[in-house]
Chain A
Amino acid sequence: MNGWTVAATATLAAGVGTAAWGVATGPLRRRVVAQNLSTSLACPALLLLSEGYDRPSYVDLALLLALLGPVGTLVFARLLAEELAADPPHAWGLTYAVAGFGAAVVIAVCVAAGPSRALVKLLVVGTLLIGGNLTASRALSGGFAGSRRG
């Protein structure tokens, strides 16, 4: 038990737990945002666990999640384009808060890793995490004309 695992547990319980609740209840516009944010929260949790348990292989899981999470959201944005166009989600405050949290976690694990190849890998994960999250959020709120064609 150390600070990293405590932070990871808090992220999983408060963040991913809340996101799971958001996915399971409420109107569609809230569900899709929660679905997008669940992977954006699980990825930093994996980075924290990797640091806490000193298992670098967990970073590979975070990398996959950062890459495939937004792809999954884009599939939802495409399939639900008509419903979302009628009732588009507006949760930019929450989206930027989660993106900021992801950036803070990536910076913290980068500082812990020190200058090395692992640091560059963490920066790639962070870029994919935040860039993918913002791109997927924009697609959900109808920011890309192509995603409306269904």
Chain B
Amino acid sequence: MNRRTTLLGVAEVLAWWAVLALLWLVFISTVNTLELVVGASAALIGAFAAWGTRRAVSGW
């Protein structure tokens, strides 16, 4: 990985994280700090999984 692909990868994970965290925020019934912490963490795991899956499928 060079500098450009690293930046692209970070941007992609951040984009996935934002989408998944927003989805979590929409799906929960009551918004409190614990929910937000769990949602942000789960969204980060999901973002890395989505990034890895996309790389495995498209091959770059």
Q: Give the contact-size bracket for chain B.
A: under 10
Q: Is B23 interfacial (CB-CB < 8 Å)?
A: yes
Chain B 1-42 interface residues, beta-carbon cutoff 8 Å to A: 23, 25-27, 29
Q: How far is the CA of A126 from the CA of B6 in the complex (A)?
A: 37
Give the residues in chain B near A117, CB-CB below 8 Å: 25-26
User: Could you give, for residues 66-98 of chain A, a 1 whenever the CB lies within 8 Å of some chain B CB and a 0 otherwise?
Assistant: 000000000000000000000000000000000
Cβ contact within 8 Å between A124 and B23: yes
B26 and A56 contact, CB distance less than 8 A: no
Cβ-based interface call for A10 (8 A) = no
CB distance from A7 to the nearest CB of B (A): 24
Once the chains bind, are B29 and A124 in contact (CB under 8 Å)? Answer: no
One of A57, A60, A124 near B26 (C-beta < 8 A): A124
- Asked whether, in the complex, the Cβ of A56 is within 8 Å of the Cβ of B23, the reply is no
Q: Which residues of B contact A56 (CB under 8 A)?
A: 29
Query: What are 12 A-B contacts with C-beta separation under 8 Å?
Result: A56-B29, A57-B29, A60-B27, A63-B27, A117-B25, A117-B26, A120-B26, A121-B26, A121-B27, A124-B23, A124-B26, A124-B27
**Interface set of A (CB-CB < 8 Å, partner B):** 56-57, 60, 63, 117, 120-121, 124
